[in-house]
Chain A
Amino acid sequence: DAKTTQPPSMDCAEGRAANLPCNHSTISGNEYVYWYRQIHSQGPQYIIHGLKNNETNEMASLIITEDRKSSTLILPHATLRDTAVYYCIVRLKAAGNKLTFGGGTRVLVKP
């Protein structure tokens, strides 16, 4: 699986959009970009994934650049409950394909 690079931490204000960047310059054509988050003392939680088109669900939006070398996870209206470590993971969409977690971005939402 391709390696990802994320900033180690970032703060954002409650009610504002949080934009979380991820670089994955060695991504291959059939690898997907996945985002998970881990709230303190809980297991990781799936957020969203995409291949090359932008994706949106009830939790977040995922913007993938045209060359697919980077992406941004957008939390449109951050709340205090969004404080967590966010992991960007690149992987093949195949059965049994494990998740390879990097260091993630520790996001602190402040009131």
Chain B
Amino acid sequence: GAGVSQSPRYKVAKRGQDVALRCDPISGHVSLFWYQQALGQGPEFLTYFQNEAQLDKSGLPSDRFFAERPEGSVSTLKIQRTQQEDSAVYLCASSLAGGAVSYEQYFGPGTRLTVT
């Protein structure tokens, strides 16, 4: 079946521009995660949704980062006034989870953001 998809795959932004990154999770997956991966590093957690509720945003690096999942399916990560240190791969993952049960996370291919 279809996996997690992300768009665009590549994004170049000039410093100061706003960007929006889209994630389409696997259909029916309750949980959705965003991670940021700098070059040569492991992914780092940004935020977590259970359905439309954003239950954890402890990893968002600044108030320029904002994520939403208004209907509990597609999610958008928005970065305002991009800066060079925002250059990274942004990964989305979804899992079939609810209540106290957790399942493995399925990752999308990521969006590579380059801020010039």
List chain A positions with a Cβ less than 8 A from chain B: 34, 41-46, 49, 85, 87, 93-104
Complex Cα–Cα for A78 and B35 (A)? 29
Complex Cα–Cα for A87 and B110 (A)? 18
The residue on B at minimum CB distance from A93 is B102
Contact of A43 among B4, B42, B55, B98 (CB under 8 A): B4
**Chain B, 27-77, CB within 8 A of any chain A CB:** 30-31, 33, 35, 41-45, 48, 50, 55-56, 59
Residues of A within 8 A of B44 (CB): 101
Residues of B within 8 A of A45 (CB): 107
Residues of A within 8 A of B110 (CB): 42-43
Question: Smallest Cβ distance from A56 to chain B, in angstroms?
Answer: 16
Q: Is the CB of B105 within 8 A of A46?
A: yes
Q: Is the CB of B106 within 8 A of A46?
A: yes
B21 contacts chain A at the CB level, 8 A cutoff: no
Contact A99:B50 (CB < 8 A) given known A43-B91, A44-B43, A94-B100: no
Given A46-B105, A95-B97, A95-B102, 17 more A-B residue pairs with CB atoms under 8 Å apart are: A42-B110, A43-B108, A43-B110, A44-B43, A44-B93, A45-B107, A94-B100, A95-B31, A95-B99, A96-B56, A96-B97, A98-B45, A98-B48, A99-B43, A99-B45, A102-B42, A104-B42
Complex Cα–Cα for A50 and B91 (A)? 25
B104 contacts chain A at the CB level, 8 A cutoff: yes
A-B contacts, 13 of them at CB < 8 A, read: A43-B4, A43-B91, A43-B109, A43-B110, A46-B104, A95-B98, A96-B50, A96-B56, A97-B102, A98-B59, A99-B43, A101-B42, A103-B41
